[in-house]
Amino acid sequence: MNKIYYYIASVLILLTGCSQSSHLHISTTIEAPWQMVTNIILQNSQTASALSLTINTADTGQVIEGFGACFNELGWDALSFLSEEDRNEVLQELFQPGKGANFNICRMPIAANDFSRDWYSYAETPNDYAMEHFSIEHDKETLIPFIHSALKLNPDIRIWASPWCPPTWMKTNGHYASRYQRNCRNDKFRNGLLLSQEGHEGTDMFRTDSIHLNAYALYFQKFIQAYRKNGINIFAVMPQNEYNSAQVFPSCIWTANSLAKFIGSYLGPVMKKEGVEVMFGTMERPHYLQVDTILQNPSATPYISGVGFQWAGRKAIGEVRKRYPQMRLLQTEQECGNGKNDWEGLLHSWDILKHFVNNGVSIYNYWNMALLEGGVSRWGWAQNSLAVVDSTRHTYRWTPEYYLMKHVSHFVSPDAHYIKSTGEAAQKSISFVNPDGQIIIIMVEEDGQDQWIEISASGKEKKMVLLRANSINTICL
């Protein structure tokens, strides 16, 4: 067995005097992930330049429901190159409570997405309005065993789902893609879409007559029921992934008005019968007025239990939170990266995570759990992942972004509260208080030098901690 990841426990002792009372401090650098650190210091010249961080546990924000990532076909294919023992190690690290990332809320596609093996839907027979030929047989090779493996480790994982594309006969262009591939030089990545079939933002590529909308709601219902029969309960759906975006991979553009119609008169009532929530999304534009179109629609609003923002929707979330302070907010997809899986990718992901948490999300989802080295999709897009698999050596390694997620999700419990912080170090951190009163602080030092932080938290003794240059840190008080 070849274990690429490892844990190192170390003790940092600065021989300058007496010790502070105990606290837990875990630190990760690119050279040494997940180290336990103990600082023993005096207030002296070494700490005179400390930055302050003040945490008021009475100043709380949203309740945290959890963290996770997306079950994708190419993720399961990548893990299938590993030995059973190593594959189980990866899955345990992601899902087993108390071990690693503790993922408890995850996403899945309804049929094909951009990290599927190729295009497919559950109902490709043209004009099958009654869904007589509906089948999830395809998923029994990939998504279903992937999810079953996770549920075996944690039966309480909650899963929400969204389509990237409806069956092709429900689209106006009759094709799974929505954008013509310009300058595609590799035939294996071509989607076959003609320029005349390309969609345009602000229009509907779904056939929005009642017969197709009704059939599509039935498609969702059949999906919920079929997965339930296979031991997988879906707690919520969103009607369309990135509904503004014409993509070279499976996609479908909708207008907000048509989505409101679909939710209010078709999808919402059907999902209510199934006991499944409907959340609006995924939102990938800064246009908060599109959210108004949904949330101010009297037919759609009663069915909406949350609003989901993809990473590119980050400029809309602040205004949506201000206008709808009681609405549950989700981050649905961490930005995808470029397949390099480097420290720069971690820092970018940290900025996004920090932004969404500071703006009220209760659920945060990373994107790809695992990919082969290079992370290239069926349509030629290289992306990052939490684990990278070497298909030749049949080994794996954890990426920096995995440790970023673990630094948060390993420690922040479901039903924790976000808490606000002030001081010079506030921009470097996000903080939470767990139901048992434990304070969790995540900090990233990205300025290239060691930095002392003086932490003052209500009800706790002051702490002085050292952040190593270019490090992720979790401090538990």
Amino acid (one-letter) located at 24: L
User: Could you give the CA distance from residue 94 to residue 103 in angstroms, rounded to a whole number?
Assistant: 6
Q: How many CB atoms lie within 10 A of CB 318?
A: 15
CATH number at residue 391: 3.20.20.80
User: Could you give the CA distance from residue 245 to residue 281 in angstroms, rounded to a whole number?
Assistant: 12
The last residue of a domain, from among 370, 396, 411: 411
- Does residue 265 sit in helix, strand or coil? helix
Residues 108 and 243 in one domain: yes
Residues 346 and 331 in one domain: yes
User: Could you give the CA distance from residue 470 to residue 14 in angstroms, rounded to a whole number?
Assistant: 20
CB neighbours of 317 closer than 8 A, spacing ≥ 6? 309, 329, 356, 359, 360, 361
DSSP string, 392-434: TTTEEEE-HHHHHHHHHHTT--TT-EEEEEESTTGGGEEEEE-
Residues 367 and 466 in one domain: no
The residue segments making up the domain with residue 122 are: 65-411
Residues in the chain, overall count: 477
Residues 377 and 435 in one domain: no
Decide if 61 contacts 412 (C-beta within 8 A).
Answer: no
CA dihedral 237, 213, 262, 169 (to 10 degrees): 70
Strand order in the sheet with 24-28: 8-9, 35-36, 24-28, 471-476, 439-445, 429-433, 417-422, 51-63, 451-457, 463-467
**What's the token pair of residue 295?**
């949330």
- Is 426 a domain residue? yes
Looking at the structure of the chain, the number of domains it has is 2
| Predicted pLDDT of residue 16 | 28
CB neighbours of 96 closer than 8 A, spacing ≥ 6? 153, 154
Residues 249 and 184 in one domain: yes
Question: Residue 28: beta bridge partners?
Answer: 472
Question: Residue 107: beta bridge partners?
Answer: 70, 160
CB neighbours of 289 closer than 8 A, spacing ≥ 6? none
Q: Between the CA of residue 139 and those of 23, 135, 216, what are the distances in Å?
A: 46, 9, 19
**pLDDT by residue (tens digit) across 299-326?**
999 999 999 999 999 999 999 999 999 9
Q: How many CB atoms lie within 10 A of CB 136?
A: 18
| Predicted pLDDT of residue 45 | 52
| Predicted pLDDT of residue 46 | 60
The last residue of a domain, from among 411, 444, 464: 411
User: Could you give the CA distance from residue 365 to residue 277 in angstroms, rounded to a whole number?
Assistant: 18
For the chain of 477 residues, list the mean pLDDT of each consecutive stretch of 10: 37 31 87 87 63 93 98 99 98 98 99 98 98 98 99 99 99 97 89 95 98 99 99 99 97 98 99 99 94 97 98 95 97 96 97 98 98 96 98 98 98 97 95 96 95 91 93 97
Decide if 419 contacts 433 (C-beta within 8 A).
Answer: yes
**Residue 430 CA, distance from chain mean position:** 17
Helices (H), 36-142: 73-79, 84-95
Residues 22 and 115 in one domain: no
Residues 41 and 105 in one domain: no
Residues 55 and 78 in one domain: no
**What's the token pair of residue 48?**
């005179």
User: Could you give the CA distance from residue 333 to residue 428 in angstroms, rounded to a whole number?
Assistant: 22
Residues 29 and 79 in one domain: no
**pLDDT by residue (tens digit) across 121-137?**
999 999 999 999 999 99
Residues 356 and 452 in one domain: no
Residues 54 and 86 in one domain: no
- Is 218 a domain residue? yes
- Is 253 a domain residue? yes
- Is 13 a domain residue? yes
The last residue of a domain, from among 387, 411, 435: 411
Residues 19 and 75 in one domain: no
| Predicted pLDDT of residue 39 | 65
Decide if 289 contacts 319 (C-beta within 8 A).
Answer: no
- Is 342 a domain residue? yes
CA geometry: angle 5, 39, 441, nearest 5 deg: 65
- Is 15 a domain residue? yes
User: Could you give the CA distance from residue 307 to residue 315 in angstroms, rounded to a whole number?
Assistant: 14
CATH number at residue 53: 2.60.40.1180
Q: What is the pTM of this model?
A: 0.93
- Is 2 a domain residue? no
Both ends of the chain: CA-CA distance in Å?
Answer: 37
- Is 1 a domain residue? no
